Amino acid sequence: MNKFAHLFLGVFGLFGASWLAFVAYPYITFAGMQPNKDSNTGAVAPQGNPGTTEQGARVFAANGCVYCHSQFVRGENEGADIDRGWGKRRTVARDYMFDHYVFLGNSRLGADLANIGVRQTDPQWFYRLLYDPRSVHPESVMPSFRYLFRTQKISGQASADALKLNGPGAPRSGYEIVPTEEGKAIVAYLISLKKNYALPEAPEPAE
Amino acid sequence: MNQPAIPETIPLDNLPSGRDDREGTGYAVRVPVLVFLVSAVFWLLVSSCLGLLVSTECHRPGSLTIFSNLPWLTFGRVFPAFQNALVYGWLSTAGMGVAIWLVSQLCNTAHRTGYLPVLSGVTWNIGVGVGILSVLGGGGNGRPLLDFPFHAAFLLLLGFLFFGIWAVVVIWNRESGSVYVSEWYIFAALLCFAWSFTTANIVLNLPLSSIGPAPGVSQGAIHAWYEKSLFGLWLAPLALAVAYYIIPKSLEKPIYSYKLALLGFWAWIGCAAFSGMTVFIGGPFPVWMVTMGIVANVLALIPVLAVAANFHMTTRSAVERGGSSLVFRFVALGAMMFTFYGFEAATNSLRKIGQFTEFTLVILGQNHLFLYGFCSLILFGAIYYLLPRLLDRRIIFEGIAEFHFWLSVVGFALLWFDLTMGGLIQGFGLQDAKVSMDAIGDLLKPFLMIQSVAALIIFAANVTFAITVGLILLLPGRVRNRSDVPETSMERTPEVTVA
């Protein structure tokens, strides 16, 4: 191999082929995806999130949640994901077609979040988990995110989303612990994570 | 060894020739090479501090409230900062530094536009610094190894391009006739990194809504492709280029087979480029994408074995000549870890096994096998090899470097074993819906504890390394005598194969 031209063409060809297969092909295919319209009911799925969750997705990204939480459910023959209640069916490409930021993840020190908004709908549950994970899951290795909350003096009525804490962790009387804007955004994002509609390419497995 | 007499300036196809001391062309680029190597050691220290911190947070998440109140110390920021410091700060910087030397040396061309690689080193380092601070400050992208925000990635690309353009110019103007194996690998690394880093950052991280991010799950596919390119076609070729230089050079023996080297090279480029998608077994992609990844990971055993056989046959019956030297031990052990990594990657990519190891610490262990066991060990060896040549000095710190070798080996072996065992338990737990996530967390605790012990040993190893490098740089040492190349304590004399 005495000519750099051969070297260049060979590497260019091989790597270019992988670029076509794993960059160009998925980019084009998934950009042209259409939501599914049910022929009987006329329901369209997925609906997509109404724009408000993007800030939350950025908080999710910036704080590295993806390093412990995945966001995809494998089929019934590929793992215990469905048995664990992480979803009723496997997730497919169409589930993510409206998502601006997709965090599939490949670590599960924590639970899968593809359908966390189906399992938990109460913001208070998320606030408690983020503030003190071990009050929800005693053996959890999840870090607590107290910096997503602030303590403030109660003026007039207590805030609706103030944390309900008792015991040594509770704030002094007259004060309350409330989520910051970032805290609210990430919880709104997490609650929006639902893939509980039917898609023909991913039927729910029989019980 | 009855090598035919060869003039000094023309390398055999399978033996890097030419003097690599003061007389060699590599000596002419010592300033940029030192800029890269010294900053790489700095980032290695940064990454091992962050690694130690992140490991501690893992096994004591509740007890240290300081971590929960300070956003820049939270696990989800320190972990990516650690990984990026390791990959872009230490491995890439050291790899580029050694590559500058190798290119200059092998092309037998005195440096032209010598300011470019210095500029490259400075820009690259600023990029790494800005990137790590951004990730800690909450500007990360949440995409493993693409965490750096676009402006930091842009600085990295700029720094890389200065280096890449310089390398291409030197290669273009080379005075040596043929092209040695190490140069193939460096050339492939240049092309693939420029291509994959640009693509991934533009379609995933560019903060312009008109272009990015890429639609839906194509983000996952592009990301998996990038990560594998970064490992397999940037870091691996740089490390293999070093191994293909130092192993024959320190044994004074040509590479066993030119054809095996060719096979190993081309098959590896072909396989590595297609093997990324196995991180998404069962993921929301067309089945062929993952299947292609599995096939590529298994086929990659061909180049992995070709490279291993070539090194083995080169080393066989010649070990007594260079086998006891520390440089040789670092590089040879690193090269063996490449084989080991190839087998682990192929095993973990199989669907039936992958569904257990996917999402677990096994994969983290596999990545560390690659980053520490393979790339780092080879680069340690390369730095011990280069520093005395660049400074025209003898190394006299054998004991402390020996200590570094054993600390690295023990620390890394413990880390890999711990992550693999813990990961397997985690994997079997995850596959049994009756075992709650809480129970898995509880089972993992002892492993996370041992992980911190391993991180501490690796930290100590890296500090020892930095001290050794510091001593070599700062203490005057004994100047080499050119006419009578003395036996250094770190390696046997690399007698130049000149008749």
Per-residue pLDDT tens listing for chain B (499 residues): 344 333 333 344 556 666 666 667 777 788 899 999 999 999 999 999 999 999 888 776 665 666 677 889 899 999 999 999 999 999 999 999 999 999 988 887 765 567 899 999 999 999 999 999 999 999 999 999 999 999 999 999 999 999 999 998 888 887 766 788 999 999 999 999 999 999 999 999 987 666 668 888 999 999 999 999 999 999 999 999 999 999 988 888 888 888 999 999 999 999 999 999 999 999 999 999 999 999 999 999 999 999 999 999 988 866 666 556 889 999 999 999 999 999 999 999 999 999 999 999 999 999 999 999 999 999 999 999 999 888 887 766 888 999 999 999 999 999 999 999 999 999 999 999 999 998 998 899 999 999 999 999 999 999 999 999 998 888 765 554 443 344 444 544 443 333 3
Which residues on B lie below 8 Å from A33 (Cβ)? 215-216
- Would the CB atoms of B76 and A15 count as touching at under 8 Å? no
What is the DSSP code string of A133-196? Answer: HHHHSTT--PPP-GGGEEEEE--SSPPTT-----GGGSPPTTEEEEE-HHHHHHHHHHHT----
Instruction: Give the per-residue pLDDT at B59.
Output: 74
Residue B42 to chain A, least CA–CA distance (Å): 25
Q: How many C-beta atoms surround the C-beta of residue B67 within 10 A?
A: 23
Token pair for A168: 């040594």
Indicate if the alpha-carbon torsion angle B373, B341, B43, B80 is positive or negative. negative
Residue from the list B215, B220, B286 with its beta carbon closest to the beta carbon of A31: B215
Question: Which residues, including other chains, have CB under 8 Å from residue A166's CB and lie 6 or more apart?
Answer: none
Provide the terminal-to-terminal Cα distance of chain B, rounded to the nearest Å.
11
Residue with token string 């599995």: B294
For residue B284, the surrounding DSSP H or E stretch is: none
Strand partners, A197: none
Per-residue pLDDT at B492: 44
| Among the partner residues A17, A93, A110, nearest to B284 by beta-carbon distance | A93
Peptide bond into A46 cis (omega under 30): yes
- What is the SS3 assignment for A44? strand
Q: How far away is chain B from the Cα of A179, in angstroms, using its nearest Cα? A: 13
> pTM of the full predicted structure?
0.92
State the pLDDT at residue A32: 86
The SS3 assignment for B452 reads: helix
Chosen for mutation from B437, B443, B449 (greatest number of chain A CBs closer than 10 Å) is B437
Mean pLDDT of A34-51: 81
Q: Phi and psi of A44, rounded to 5°? A: -105, 130
In contact, A152 and A82? CB cutoff 8 Å:
no
Average pLDDT over chain A reads 89
> Are the Cβ atoms of A31 and B281 closer than 8 angstroms?
no
By CA distance, what is A131's nearest residue in B? B68
From the list A23, A61, A64, which residue is nearest B75 (CB)? A64
Q: Which helix (H) or strand (E) holds B321?
A: helix B319-322
Distance of CA B349 to the CA centre of its chain: 21
**Residue A197 pLDDT > 50:** yes
Output the six-digit token pair for B470.
């510091």
Residues B211 and B251: their CA atoms lie apart, in Å, by 52
**Would you state the pLDDT for residue B70?**
85
Please name every residue paired with A153 in a beta bridge, in sequence order, or none if there are none.
A175
CA distance A98 to chain B (A): 7
What ipTM does this complex have? Answer: 0.94
pLDDT number for residue B169: 87
Confidence class for position A148, pLDDT limits 50, 70, 90: very high
Q: What's the rounded Cα separation, in Å, for the pair B140 and B132?
A: 9
Across the interface, whether the CB atoms of B68 and A18 are under 8 A apart is answered: no
C-alpha torsion sign, points B250, B256, B257, B263: negative
Sort out which chain A residues have CB atoms less than 8 A from B222's CB and list them. Answer: 22-23, 26-27
Cβ distance B45 to B86 under 8 Å? Answer: no
Across the A:B interface, residue pairs with CB atoms under 8 Å apart total 245
Report the C-alpha gap between B170 and B105 in whole angstroms: 10
Nearest CA in chain B to A67: B76
**With contacts defined as CB-CB under 8 Å, which chain A residues touch B71?**
63, 147
Among A8, A18, A177, the strongest candidate for a mutation testing the B interface, having the largest count of B CBs within 10 A, is A18
pLDDT at B208: 67
Report the alpha-carbon distance of residue B9 to residue B359 in Å, rounded: 51
Burial label for B181, CB within 10 Å (0-12, 13-18, 19+), is: buried
Residue type at B122 in one-letter notation: V
